[in-house]
Chain A
Amino acid sequence: MAVRTGEITRAYSTVSAVLEPVDLVVVLLYLGAVLVIGIRAGRHVQTGGDFFVGGRSLPFWAIGMSIVVSDIGAIDMISGAGGAYRYGVAQANFDWIGSMPAMVIVAFLFIPYLYRSRVYTIPEFLGRRYGVAVQLVQAAIWLGFLLAMLALMLWMSAVFLGGVLGWSTTFAIWVTVAVVGLYTTTGGLRAVIITDAMQMIVMSIGFTVLVVLCLVEVGGIGGLIEKVSALGPRTDDHFSLLLPHDTDKPYPWSGIVFGLGMVLSTAYFCGNQAVIQRTMAARSEWDAKAAMLFAALCKLFVPVLVFLPGLAAVAAHPDLPDPDQAVPKMIVDVLPPGLTGLVFAAFFAALMSSVDSYLNSSTTVLLTDFYGRGRAALGMPPASGLQQLRLGRAMTVVFIVAAGFTAPVIERFETIYVALQTLLSLFQGPTLAILLLGVLWRRATGWGALTALVGGVGLSGWLTVNGEAFFPSNDPFLFISFWSFVVSLVTVIVVSLLTPPEPLERIRGLVVGHLAGEEGGA
């Protein structure tokens, strides 16, 4: 999806022009409520464990909601609805087949190993399984991605907030830094998850109202289908979930099933630090698995809430020059004062949940995978719970303040979001291959994983540059992820068989047949 940050901010500004004073009151009330709830949620944080994984005390429903709301993001709300305007319901594949099977696989296959090994991060798990080199490569990738996304989301939040309240972008950046920084620094992941759950409720209410009013505007579901279908060949397949293999749209059925459904989504949900860290905050292994399944259930409704307004815009405004204006147009058309403020609060909720997620996860990766590893390499004992907490809070402040200074620079790079997503997609196939074989195959070695990671990423990069010669789609990232996964899988197997096996003592509790507490079982 070619998402440009400038298009998104222009979309926000379309709506902010029609806000009434009552809408501004709703947005400010929401901001205050998040701050109070976030700070109250973090009252009992006393150790690094409390800060990084919420003291492993949270119920499945809060974690499940947090996973969904962090995954949606305000960019997806605008560009996802824009995608529905352009391509129709095929856009929903990312939340349906691109989530559900993967979340089940993560719940039952990966979470038992991750939760029982009591890791904080995915690179930490890979480090225990394969050694320090794989851990550092993975951690460096994730830290870079998380920090860049933190600055980007902070900038977008500020543009949005500034547009709504009439503040300068710089002032809005520092207000957002203060609000998110305060509750994330005070309460760590627990505060993040509790505020996310609240944000999910606000988003659901706001978008349910929007969907209902959009449907009323276009004459119900029947009217929507009739009006969209009447537009001729350009909307012929707007109500088809799967499109032909040789379609000129970026979602051919083969790419959706094999690339997205089998590889990209599984890699995303089992390898994404922000997602997995949340499940590690569960009060039990059962809650961790249930959280992932509950999130899979919530995902069923995301396209209905987020993309349906985009489809309604096709019926109401069939000739929009910029599809990302679809949702803003419908908001202006159908929402009365007060409710516009609620939907705006929902947008801001999505932005804030992204900022707090990236902030907390980047701190966790830095302190677990670099600082923690560094101490071990120097022969120092692990940091105490209190030391971890102090360092965690200090680094949270450093990162959010640094992001505050970096955020204005983002404005100069309109395509940075696309670049970051493309960069991350290069690692998805190889990461899934080494995680999958790391858990399922005792014989997989550190050399096998490292070779597959480097080789797989190299292949993905090469295919990204030269992919048009091999694949029918203009945007072949789904096919690239599939083939980089297959090649990485073969590479792990071949190189592992050529190198000495990892000692059983080192990988005990991390592979099938040696799950902690189930030795010889599973």
Chain B
Amino acid sequence: MSALDAWLTAQPQWVWHLAAVTLLVVGSGWVVFVPRRVVYADAPDARRWRDLRLWAVVIAVPYVLLYWFLR
């Protein structure tokens, strides 16, 4: 077993879940930095519910909860 394998094997369970949650948070959270003009590009209007950044963050919440609590 390589040193990397040994290190990964030694990590406690909370680290696995923290890694998964970090991926979910970073993977969906970065969209808050996407410019408004890109988010609303081609949209019929600029109503709040059409803000896709909001969609991404809201959709991520149940996934984060699942990966934090389902151990």
* The residue from B13, B20, B37, B43 contacting A257, defined by CB atoms under 8 A apart: B20
* The residue from B34, B40, B50, B67 contacting A97, defined by CB atoms under 8 A apart: B67
Which residues from B are CB-within-8-Å of A107?
52, 56
Whether A165 is near chain B, meaning CB under 8 Å from some CB there, is no
* Chain B contact residues: helix, strand, loop or mixed: helix
A108:B52 contact, CB within 8 angstroms: yes
Which residues from A are CB-within-8-Å of B62?
300
A241:B66 contact, CB within 8 angstroms: yes
Task: State in angstroms the CA–CA spacing of A117 and B50 once bound together.
Answer: 23
Task: State in angstroms the CA–CA spacing of A246 and B55 once bound together.
Answer: 36
Mark out the residues of chain B between 14 and 70 whose CB falls within 8 Å of any chain A CB in the assembled complex: 16-17, 19-20, 23-24, 26-28, 31, 34-35, 37-44, 50, 52, 55-56, 59-60, 62-63, 66-67, 70
Task: State in angstroms the CA–CA spacing of A146 and B17 once bound together.
Answer: 36
- How distant is B16 from chain A, measured CB to nearest CB, in Å? 4
Task: State in angstroms the CA–CA spacing of A297 and B42 once bound together.
Answer: 22
- How distant is B39 from chain A, measured CB to nearest CB, in Å? 8
Taking residues whose C-beta sits less than 8 angstroms from the other chain, chain B's interface range is 35 or more
* The residue from B9, B26, B37 contacting A518, defined by CB atoms under 8 A apart: B37
How would residues 278 to 306 of chain A score, 1 for a CB under 8 Å from any chain B CB and 0 otherwise? 00000011110110010011001000000
- How distant is A256 from chain B, measured CB to nearest CB, in Å? 7
- Name A247's closest neighbour in chain B (CB-CB): B9
- How distant is B51 from chain A, measured CB to nearest CB, in Å? 10
- How distant is A480 from chain B, measured CB to nearest CB, in Å? 15
* The residue from B16, B31, B63 contacting A96, defined by CB atoms under 8 A apart: B63
Which residues from B are CB-within-8-Å of A285?
41-42
B59:A242 contact, CB within 8 angstroms: no
- Name B50's closest neighbour in chain A (CB-CB): A286
Task: State in angstroms the CA–CA spacing of A97 and B67 once bound together.
Answer: 9
Which residues from A are CB-within-8-Å of B44?
284, 286
A286:B43 contact, CB within 8 angstroms: yes
Count how many pairs of residues, one from A and one from B, have CB atoms less than 8 Å apart in the complex.
115
A290:B52 contact, CB within 8 angstroms: yes
Which residues from B are CB-within-8-Å of A507?
none
A296:B19 contact, CB within 8 angstroms: no
A472:B1 contact, CB within 8 angstroms: yes
Whether A521 is near chain B, meaning CB under 8 Å from some CB there, is yes
A296:B41 contact, CB within 8 angstroms: no
Which residues from A are CB-within-8-Å of B56?
104, 107-108, 293
- How distant is B58 from chain A, measured CB to nearest CB, in Å? 9
Task: State in angstroms the CA–CA spacing of A252 and B19 once bound together.
Answer: 13
| Interface residues in A, total, Cβ within 8 A | 43
Contact status of A239 and B70, CB under 8 A, knowing A107-B52, A286-B50: yes
B42:A240 contact, CB within 8 angstroms: no
- Name B54's closest neighbour in chain A (CB-CB): A293
B23:A286 contact, CB within 8 angstroms: no
Whether A75 is near chain B, meaning CB under 8 Å from some CB there, is no
A256:B20 contact, CB within 8 angstroms: yes
- How distant is A18 from chain B, measured CB to nearest CB, in Å? 34
Which residues from A are CB-within-8-Å of B13?
242
Which residues from B are CB-within-8-Å of A289?
39, 52
A296:B59 contact, CB within 8 angstroms: yes
Task: State in angstroms the CA–CA spacing of A104 and B52 once bound together.
Answer: 10
B9:A521 contact, CB within 8 angstroms: no
B59:A257 contact, CB within 8 angstroms: no
Task: State in angstroms the CA–CA spacing of A517 and B11 once bound together.
Answer: 48
A101:B28 contact, CB within 8 angstroms: yes
Whether A253 is near chain B, meaning CB under 8 Å from some CB there, is yes
**Apart from A242-B67, A515-B38, A522-B38: 18 A-B pairs, beta carbons within 8 A:** A97-B24, A100-B27, A100-B60, A101-B28, A104-B28, A108-B31, A108-B52, A240-B70, A241-B67, A242-B71, A245-B11, A246-B5, A256-B20, A257-B16, A261-B27, A287-B42, A289-B52, A521-B35
Instruction: Offer 9 A-B interface pairs, CB within 8 angstroms, sorted by A.
Output: A96-B63, A100-B28, A112-B38, A240-B71, A241-B67, A246-B9, A252-B8, A296-B59, A471-B5
User: A-side interface residues toward B, CB under 8 Å?
Assistant: 89, 96-97, 100-102, 104-105, 107-108, 112, 239-242, 244-246, 252-254, 256-257, 261-262, 284-287, 289-290, 293, 296-297, 300, 470-472, 515, 517-518, 521-522
